[in-house]
Copies of this chain bind each other. A is one copy, B any other.
Amino acid sequence: MPSLRIALCQIDIIVGDLDRNVELILEAISRAEAADCDLAVFGELAICGYPPEDLLLKPKFMADNRAALARVAAATGDCAVIVGYADDDQDAPPREGESQLPGEPANGAILNAAAICANGEVKGRFVKQWLPNYNVFDEKRYFRPGEDYPLWSIAGVNVGVSICEDMWVDPSPVNVMADGGAQLIVNINASPYHSDKVEARDAMIARRIDETATPLVYVNLVGGQDELVFDGTSVVVDGSGATIARSKQFEEQVQVADFAVTEPKPVTLPVTEVTSRKSVSRGDLPPILEPLLDPLEEIWAALVLGARDYVHNNGFTDVCFGLSGGIDSALTAALCADAFGPEHVHAVMMPSRYSSDHSLSDSEKLVQNLGIDGRVIALEPAHSAYMEMLTPSFGTDPWGLTEENLQSRIRGVLLMALANKFGWLVMTTGNKSETAVGYSTLYGDTAGAYAVIKDVWKLQVYELARDYNRRAGREIIPENILTKAPSAELRPDQRDDQSLPPYEELDPMLIEIVENNRTAAELIADGHPEETVARIARLVDIAEFKRQQSPLGTRITKRAFGKDRRMPITNLYRGT
């Protein structure tokens, strides 16, 4: 049986940086050619980055992206290249609806496409048929679906090319291609990570292969793009369902895999000749299966890569944040030290008149353990100044929540001043439980460019912190931080559980409300305490105005705050 040598090119592209993306692609092609590959496969929209969002509506962007593809194609030889790009059919009839508005230009059709290139030219394209428009995806905003099932003859093997969602639907275009003569399916992806995604993906690949007995090459992007992180984890699975290559998670890699091709099948779909069989002979490479990370390590790696790519791709090297002595900022500090290197991490301890002594000493210990920069700025002078400035308006009434928010906002101002002065980015430290119920101060602890643990539930914050110490084999995050009662320390003797149920009760409720779209009435029917549920559900709703002004953070669950969950701010539905 003939074998095919394929390079899985899992690269970290940046949205809009066409020149750099082309450079990375050309470099990977060179490596594939040097390894004598028949085929090099890249991810979905690898030319322009994913998701390009409304950049796709700029005709000049579309033209530049096609020109970038032409540069890639021009550099190809007899190693065929499959690469994602945005195409358009200028002469297609206008897009549904939009162009009917008087004065609106016709955009033609924009296509989410894979180019099949070899020997200096684009031999053809496959157009994505199934356009996800749910969760974080908006593909129907931009793209028109394809309808054709072309096959490609690459080094004598008939290959069917598909894009991401095309593999996930039932019946799938993948099956049509396999039935129509494809000996190999290539599926290119921009598949955003969430926990359990790898298992879901493996199960779907297994199902397709079970149905078609046709080997499948799955290539994903890797890297962070705003709130999304692509995990890589590209694979080759043979026609019996055995995984014969797996690339790293959360790392760039050009992995070369050989695999035996089944005998030709009867072909009923049109076939385009891309490259002819190579005459070289070579020994089959042994299969390489990069190990899968365990669940907590996987989340850690996602958070590190998401934050790192956000900061670096936006042109920054250094970050700062408020280190409070609590678990959230401690975990954020550890993640940042890992993502940016300790020398690029600046922790700012900002005790107020209500901070406890251990907050500062625990924080200082952590700074030392991580080897990061630390500084202390007491809030008192600004705190007193504001109180003096506001007394004519407020009189002598007790300030209550206003004073709590004031302290948090002074911290926000100090962090932003440091960031402005030294060219750092501020990272926020709020977790998903806090973000859900609005246990935060807008323009205070929500002030910053990126929310490192925004999609991590509080109980998982503890798990990640303990696992971090375990992996390090020492107490980097001081035990006292792991065991103290959570508190915002914005008034004397404050503790989270004075305002909120314990996180062991709170997190499961919030998961139902936020991730599973359930309402208070349903949770009460399940036996959760009525008063608590109604209060918590309401807090989730009214915190929407805070969330819509809070920074992005890496998505690691199947429903994160952000693009994934689009709620009105003005919303009087109570679900009780």
Interface residues of A in 541-576 (CB under 8 A from B): 545, 548-552, 565-575
Contact A568 B443 (CB under 8 A): no
Q: Which of B135, B417, B572 lies in contact with A14, CB distance below 8 A?
A: B572
Does A399 touch B at the CB level, under 8 Å?
Answer: yes
Chain B, residue nearest A166 (CB):
B97
* Binary contact readout A442-462 vs B (1 if CB under 8 angstroms, 0 otherwise): 110001010000000000000
Does A169 touch B at the CB level, under 8 Å?
Answer: yes
Please name all residues of chain B whose beta carbon is closer than 8 Å to the beta carbon of A388 when the two chains form the complex: 381
Q: Given A16-B572, A569-B552, are A521 and B60 also a contact pair (CB < 8 Å)? A: yes
Q: Given A14-B570, A55-B573, A570-B14, are A390 and B405 also a contact pair (CB < 8 Å)? A: no
Contact B406 A417 (CB under 8 A): yes
Contact B97 A132 (CB under 8 A): yes
Q: Which of B52, B54, B416 lies in contact with A409, CB distance below 8 A?
A: B416
Most B Cβ at <10 Å: residue of A130, A226, A309, A565? A226
Q: How far is the CA of A134 from the CA of B144 in the complex (A)?
A: 13
Does A356 touch B at the CB level, under 8 Å?
Answer: no
Q: How far is the CA of A384 from the CA of B388 in the complex (A)?
A: 13
A55 to chain B, nearest CB (A): 6
Q: How many copies does the complex hold?
A: 2
Q: How large is the interface on A (under 10, 10 to 19, 20 to 34, 35 or more residues)?
A: 35 or more
Contact A384 B386 (CB under 8 A): no
Does A418 touch B at the CB level, under 8 Å?
Answer: yes
Contact B389 A416 (CB under 8 A): no
Q: Given A101-B168, A389-B378, A570-B310, are A58 and B443 also a contact pair (CB < 8 Å)? A: no
Interface residues of A in 359-415 (CB under 8 A from B): 375, 377-378, 381-382, 384-386, 388-390, 392-394, 397, 399, 401-402, 405-406, 409-410, 412-414
Q: How far is the CA of A402 from the CA of B26 in the complex (A)?
A: 42
Contact B566 A53 (CB under 8 A): yes
Contact A100 B168 (CB under 8 A): yes
Contact B416 A413 (CB under 8 A): no
Interface residues of A in 511-558 (CB under 8 A from B): 517-519, 521-522, 545, 548-552
Contact A449 B545 (CB under 8 A): yes
Q: Which of B61, B314, B566, B570 lies in contact with A575, CB distance below 8 A?
A: B61
Please name all residues of chain B whose beta carbon is closer than 8 Å to the beta carbon of A392 when the two chains form the complex: 375, 377
Contact A16 B571 (CB under 8 A): yes
Contact A15 B568 (CB under 8 A): yes
A227 to chain B, nearest CB (A): 9
Contact B130 A134 (CB under 8 A): no
Does A470 touch B at the CB level, under 8 Å?
Answer: no
Does A277 touch B at the CB level, under 8 Å?
Answer: no
Contact B377 A389 (CB under 8 A): yes
Q: Which of B101, B421, B573 lies in contact with A393, CB distance below 8 A?
A: B421
Q: Given A60-B522, A549-B549, are A570 and B420 also a contact pair (CB < 8 Å)? A: no
Contact A377 B405 (CB under 8 A): no
Chain B, residue nearest A574 (CB):
B16
Contact A421 B402 (CB under 8 A): yes
Q: How far is the CA of A141 from the CA of B566 in the complex (A)?
A: 10
Contact A389 B381 (CB under 8 A): yes
Does A260 touch B at the CB level, under 8 Å?
Answer: no
Q: Given A16-B568, A130-B96, A545-B449, are A421 and B443 also a contact pair (CB < 8 Å)? A: no
Does A467 touch B at the CB level, under 8 Å?
Answer: no
* Binary contact readout A9-52 vs B (1 if CB under 8 angstroms, 0 otherwise): 00000111110100000000000000000000000000001011
Please name all residues of chain B whose beta carbon is closer than 8 Å to the beta carbon of A413 when the two chains form the complex: 386, 406, 409-410, 413, 443
A53 to chain B, nearest CB (A): 5
Please name all residues of chain B whose beta carbon is closer than 8 Å to the beta carbon of A17 when the two chains form the complex: 572-573
Most B Cβ at <10 Å: residue of A313, A381, A385? A385
Most B Cβ at <10 Å: residue of A200, A413, A420, A521? A413
Contact B390 A385 (CB under 8 A): no
Does A102 touch B at the CB level, under 8 Å?
Answer: yes
Does A288 touch B at the CB level, under 8 Å?
Answer: no
Most B Cβ at <10 Å: residue of A102, A165, A569? A569
Chain B, residue nearest A58 (CB):
B517
Please name all residues of chain B whose beta carbon is closer than 8 Å to the beta carbon of A384 when the two chains form the complex: 385
Contact B169 A96 (CB under 8 A): yes
Contact B572 A203 (CB under 8 A): no
Chain B, residue nearest A406 (CB):
B417
Please name all residues of chain B whose beta carbon is closer than 8 Å to the beta carbon of A377 when the two chains form the complex: 389-390, 392-393
Q: Which of B61, B378, B447 lies in contact with A443, CB distance below 8 A?
A: B447
Rank and list the top 8 A-B pairs by shortest CB-CB distance, nearest first.
A16-B573, A17-B572, A381-B385, A385-B385, A402-B420, A443-B443, A60-B519, A382-B385
Task: Offer 14 A-B interface pairs, CB within 8 angstroms, sorted by A.
Answer: A15-B572, A16-B571, A20-B572, A64-B575, A100-B169, A313-B570, A377-B392, A382-B382, A389-B414, A406-B417, A409-B413, A413-B413, A442-B447, A443-B443
Q: A53-B566, A60-B575, A97-B130 are in contact. List 5 more A-B contacts (CB 8 A).
A: A49-B568, A64-B573, A382-B385, A409-B417, A442-B447
